[in-house]
């Protein structure tokens, strides 16, 4: 190894589906999708990795028994990955984002947004984005019943709605806006 | 070590004096990186340290990506993306095909995966003329190694040796590398912004 000539950095392609180098896709559980992705993005590599010869060569190095075990394992993994994905998609489809306008002090409002984590968003980052977008302070606060919500200062309920639908791709039907007036007795 | 997905902790900038120290240490551990060090850690770039669970720190350069991680005061270990870019600069060994799937699901690397027909340890000649691709010297316990796989181009695991290579050849049993960083683990999937 010490004699290895200095080489410059290699450029490595990573699979767009499972993020591994494409040659390891077969162990990832999403092999089917990975293959399709590779075929589209890097046809030459696809040719090399998924040709008949390559597959046979892979198989030849293992004993029959080991092959069967590996295959069984791979199937299980694939099924698991699929199930997880389906569940995630379902959760995302059914989860409701709740936007609430709360009166803080007669004409002052805060906007509370709940349920964003189910849409696969990182609350802390989203809060930061919102703060920038709406030029208002936004923070992640704990709610008494457990879980967290984003609090944005000011009445931005409708803006948040637009923003979520347009930029974050949240389904319109999954967003609810409610108004909560009586937080404190109006002075 | 990173079997579970996790969130990155706080991120802070590294003092330039400490950055020099890290550079020095890295070169001590991986002398073969010498010709590339300016490409990996350009002197002008600001190194950042990200806290990971279990008292591990990850050193990264914004816009370039993660470089090394360190568990408490263990040696610096390279991130797999770095290994993929400079595969020749590390102590390497190879596992057989059957072991890949166990490694990629986070199991400890066992010695038989290295000593079988498909595996390669340092000090073994390659049959196809590429002699001693995996180095000539025996490696001791605690040395950082990069593990490649039979029939694959890129490395799939990096970690510290649990057993010297000589002992491995004699015993052909036991754990070779434990608690490494492998393809698809939490560290691999970690999103840095």
pLDDT tens for B92-139 read 888 888 888 888 888 899 998 888 888 888 876 555 555 556 777 788
Residue in B136, B127, B129, B128 with CA at minimum distance from that of residue B93: B136
Q: Tell me the CA distances in angstroms from B108 to B5, B37, B100, B102, one per residue in order.
A: 18, 30, 11, 8
Q: Which residue has the tokens 């694959």?
A: B152
Facing residue for B84 by CB, picked from A21, A57, A61: A21
Considering just the CA atoms, what is the radius of gyration of chain A in Å? Answer: 25
**One-letter-per-residue 3-state SS of B11-47:** EEECCHHHHHHHHHHHHHHCHHHHHHHHHHCCCCCCC
Residue bearing tokens 């000589």:
B166
Sheet containing B155-161: order of strands: B92-95, B144-149, B155-161, B175-182, B109-110
Residue A124's nearest CA partner among B191, B63, B2 is: B191
Domain ranges of chain B: 11-85, 91-182
Cβ–Cβ below 8 Å for B135 and A21: no
**Residue with structure tokens 């030849």?**
A60
Distance from CA of B149 to the nearest CA of A (A): 10
Shortest Cα distance, chain A CAs vs residue B54, angstroms:
22
Q: Quick one: fold of B91-182?
A: Sulfate adenylyltransferase (3.10.400)
Residue A146 near residue A168 (C-beta atoms within 8 A):
no
Question: Least CB-CB distance to A10: which of B84, B183, B189?
Answer: B84
How many whole angstroms separate alpha carbon B96 and alpha carbon B114? 7
Q: How far is the C-alpha of A37 from the C-alpha of B123, rounded, in Å?
A: 39
Predicted confidence at residue B77, as pLDDT, reads 92
- Over residues B80-101, the mean pLDDT reads 87
CATH architecture entry for A95-180: 2-Layer Sandwich (3.30)
Give me the pLDDT at residue A3, please. 38
Chain A contact for B185 (CB, 8 A cutoff): no
Task: Indicate if the pLDDT at residue B192 is higher than 80.
Answer: no
> What pLDDT is stored for residue B15 in this prediction?
93
Q: Measured between CA atoms, how close is B55 to chain A, in angstroms? A: 23
pLDDT in the model for residue B60 = 92
Domain covering B11-85: architecture: Roll (3.10)
Q: 10 Å Cβ neighbour count for B11?
A: 14
Question: DSSP code of A172?
Answer: G
Distances (CA, A) of A9 to A50, A124, B89: 26, 35, 11
Q: What's the mean pLDDT when you consider all of chain B?
A: 86
Check CB contact of B134 with chain A, cutoff 8 Å: yes
**pLDDT at residue A6, as a whole number:** 47
Q: Position of tokens 């989203």? A: A126
What residues in A contact B32, CB-CB < 8 Å? Answer: 1-2, 4
A:B CB pairs within 8 Å? 75
Closest CA to B80 of A12, A70, A164: A12
CA distance A86 to chain B (A): 19
In chain A, where the domains are located: 22-93, 95-180
pLDDT confidence of residue A61: 64
pLDDT digits (tens, 9 = 90+) for B11-62: 899 999 999 999 999 999 998 888 888 888 888 889 999 998 888 999 999 8
Residue ranges of chain A whose pLDDT lies below 70: 1-8, 54, 57-63, 180-187
Question: Scanning every residue of chain A, which has its alpha carbon at the shortest distance from the alpha carbon of B36?
Answer: A8
Distance, CA of A187 to CA of A104 (rounded, Å): 11
Q: What is the rounded end-to-end Cα distance, in angstroms, of chain A?
A: 79
Which positions in chain A touch B154 (Cβ < 8 Å)? 12, 21, 23-24
Helix (H) or strand (E) holding B38, with range, is: helix B37-40
pLDDT value at position A181?
61
Task: Tell me whether strands B56-61 and B65-71 are parallel, antiparallel or unpaired.
Answer: antiparallel
ipTM, interface predicted TM-score of the complex: 0.78
Helix/strand/coil percent split, chain A, to 5: 50, 20, 30
Given this chain, do its domains B11-85 and B91-182 carry the same CATH topology? yes
Task: Quote the pLDDT of residue A126.
Answer: 84
From the list A7, A9, A58, the residue facing B151 with the nearest CB is: A58
Sign of CA dihedral A115, A121, A124, A126: negative
Give pLDDT, residue A187. Answer: 41
């Amino acid at each position: 190894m010490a004699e290895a000539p200095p080489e410059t950095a290699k450029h490595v392609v990573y699979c767009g589906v499972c993020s591994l180098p494409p040659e390891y896709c077969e162990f990832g559980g999403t092999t089917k999708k990975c293959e399709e992705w590779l075929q589209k993005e890097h046809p030459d590599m696809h040719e090399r990795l998924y040709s008949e010869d390559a597959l046979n060569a892979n198989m030849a190095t293992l004993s029959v028994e080991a092959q069967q075990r590996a295959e069984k394992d791979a199937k299980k993994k694939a099924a698991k990955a699929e199930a997880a994905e389906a569940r995630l998609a379902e959760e995302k489809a059914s989860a409701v984002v709740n936007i609430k306008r709360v009166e803080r002090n007669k004409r002052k409002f805060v906007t509370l947004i709940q349920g964003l984590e189910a849409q696969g968003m990182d609350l802390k980052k989203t809060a930061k984005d919102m703060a920038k977008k709406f030029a208002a302070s936004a923070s992640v606060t704990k709610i008494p019943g457990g879980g967290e919500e984003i609090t944005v200062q000011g009445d931005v309920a409708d803006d948040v709605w637009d923003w979520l639908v347009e930029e974050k791709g949240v389904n319109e039907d999954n967003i609810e806006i409610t108004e909560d007036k009586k937080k404190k007795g109006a002075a | 070590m990173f079997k579970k997905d996790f969130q990155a902790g706080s991120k802070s900038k590294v003092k330039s004096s400490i950055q020099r120290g890290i550079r020095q240490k890295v070169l001590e551990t991986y002398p073969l990186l010498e010709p590339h060090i300016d490409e990996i850690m350009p002197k002008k770039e600001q190194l950042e340290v990200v806290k990971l669970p279990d008292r591990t720190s990850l050193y990264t350069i914004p816009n370039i990506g993660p470089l090394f991680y360190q568990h408490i005061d263990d040696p610096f270990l390279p991130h797999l993306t770095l290994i993929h870019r400079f595969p020749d600069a590390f102590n390497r060994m190879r596992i057989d095909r059957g072991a890949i799937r166990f490694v990629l699901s986070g199991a400890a690397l066992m010695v038989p995966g290295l000593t079988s027909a498909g595996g390669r340890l340092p000090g073994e000649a390659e049959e196809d003329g590429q002699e001693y691709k995996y180095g000539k010297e025996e490696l001791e316990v605690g040395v950082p190694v990069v593990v490649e796989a039979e029939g694959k181009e890129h490395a799939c695991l990096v970690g510290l040796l649990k057993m010297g290579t000589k002992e491995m050849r004699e015993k052909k049993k036991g754990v070779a590398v434990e608690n490494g960083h492998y393809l698809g683990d939490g560290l691999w999937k970690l999103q840095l912004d």
